[in-house]
Amino acid sequence: MADCAAVSLPPGLPSPSPSSPPPVFLHNSIPLPKNPTPMTSSSSPSRKALSKIACNRLQKELAEWQLSPPAGFKHKVSDNLQRWVIEVTGAAGTLYAGETYQLQVDFPEHYPMEAPQVIFLNPAPMHPHIYSNGHICLDILYDSWSPAMTVSSVCISILSMLSSSPAKQRPADNDRYVRNCRNGRSPKETRWWFHDDTV
């Protein structure tokens, strides 16, 4: 988990290579647009039908969830296997105790080889890693995703992130980042850098 900040790069400036030392910014995780042209699609990825492997995997995960849901989460039943809406309840003894929020999980065609898109629906919780448009700065949703992960494990990581927060606040660059996403940019269209595990 990492602090989040977005920067605007001058036109034509090349992206830093993975071997280059990270630049110094106020915060240590910098989401950079992969494509400088704003997307015009909705915040949900353009969805193709799930592959057979994805369908089988999600049916298995859903059956396991119904038998033993992770504490603090409730799946809102629908007939849409490709989009789950999950209610999150803040853990006791944390800043979010008793508060409820909703996660929207959209599964790509080749799940679990590709990470799902996970966002908070409005209103999103106030948190240093959560933008007001619901985008979440959490490495396992992007570069650190593994096919061994499940919806349940993602939910547990998000609840842990909420529970460890010392303050309710937005990322320092929230307004700028949200403006850049106003045409429907998906969080998966952002290049996230993660350098800090303190929250």
| Matching residue, tokens 């989009």 | 83
Residue 62, token pair as written in the block? 């859903």
| Matching residue, tokens 């007001």 | 132
Contact 97, 170 (CB under 8 A): no
Set 4, 137, 155, 181: catalytic member: 137
Our answer to whether residue 55 is catalytic in this structure is no
Residue 173, token pair as written in the block? 């660059």
Upper half-sphere CA count for residue 125 (Cβ side, 13 Å): 28
Contact 193, 5 (CB under 8 A): no
**How many whole angstroms separate alpha carbon 26 and alpha carbon 161?**
20
φ and ψ of 140, to 5 deg: -70, -15
Sort strands 83-89 and 32-33 into parallel, antiparallel or unpaired.
unpaired
Catalytic residue IDs: 137
